[in-house]
Structure 1
Amino acid sequence: MKITCVVVGKIKEKYFTDAIKEYSKRLSRYCKLEILELADEKTPDGASEAEELAIREKEGERILKALKDDAYVIALAIEGKMLDSVELSQKIESLGVGGTSHIAFVIGGSLGLAPAVMKRADYALSFSRMTFPHQLMRVVLLEQLYRSYRIMKHEPYHK
């Protein structure tokens, strides 16, 4: 299975970079992982709703260009469906059994995802109703993907 993480924004903190490297290394036993970092747009202080929508749309265009036609797209969105770790594992496994060979997870920028990206998504996943920084969300996603594969393979993992 190929897993692509399409993410808006760069990681600036070394501790996030280190965690991403560690989980990427761990995941290499289970899948082919690709992380595509896309440029984010700067949001001016006090941006209007129209300005924020324009920023989401610019970032959304970049995301849509990065997504392959064959990818099953899972958008990380606060309004998505919440799954526990076992359910996420089952979701990934059932996609693979059903013939899906490429899953793309999308993490938007600080303003969220453009409507066009949500429309392209095959599934919307929420990790919580809380808002998280996109840098931290990348680490959380990779950890949960690693946990999912450990669950699928009936290998031990801390609960």
Structure 2
Amino acid sequence: MKIENTINGVTGVTEIEPRRLLVHMLRDQKHLTGVHIGCDTSQCGACTVLLDGSTVKSCTVLAAQTDGCELRTIEGMEHDRTTEALKQAFNELHGLQCGFCTPGMLLAARALLGHQPAPAEADVREALHGNLCRCTGYQNIVDAVLLAATRLREAQAVMQAEASR
């Protein structure tokens, strides 16, 4: 069957088997290997992508279900200001170690900050609860998301102040 969707800003048609999982379409057909296969049971979040702006675990979604949808993987977040702020904060605060969970964590954090620019620590923990990290112990990841949120708000305030002059 053929589906049409927009992946990382590019609209196209993909031939898929009806029962093919989204994670396999993205990795095997689209070569978007930032989408990781971790547990195959939807527990780890390594396969997290954004589907119409919300996080989903691509190992639980049939590719056919994304017909007409917009998908974003970590590869499509390269020039996104919020994701860049998150990457910088993750790097500075050691929010990543092996990197396997990082794309899913970044996408979950990106979705959170897209809906809630001033999250509390509890909000960050809730947004990331479906993503497992075996290396960091989570506190550095949470701190990095909060730092990025603060920096983004500060940058927005500066831009608004400059625009009102």
Q: TM-score, normalised by structure 2?
A: 0.25
Structure possessing the higher radius of gyration over alpha carbons: 2
Higher RCO structure (Cα 8 Å, ≥6 apart): 1
Structure number with the higher strand fraction is 1
Q: TM-score, normalised by structure 1?
A: 0.25
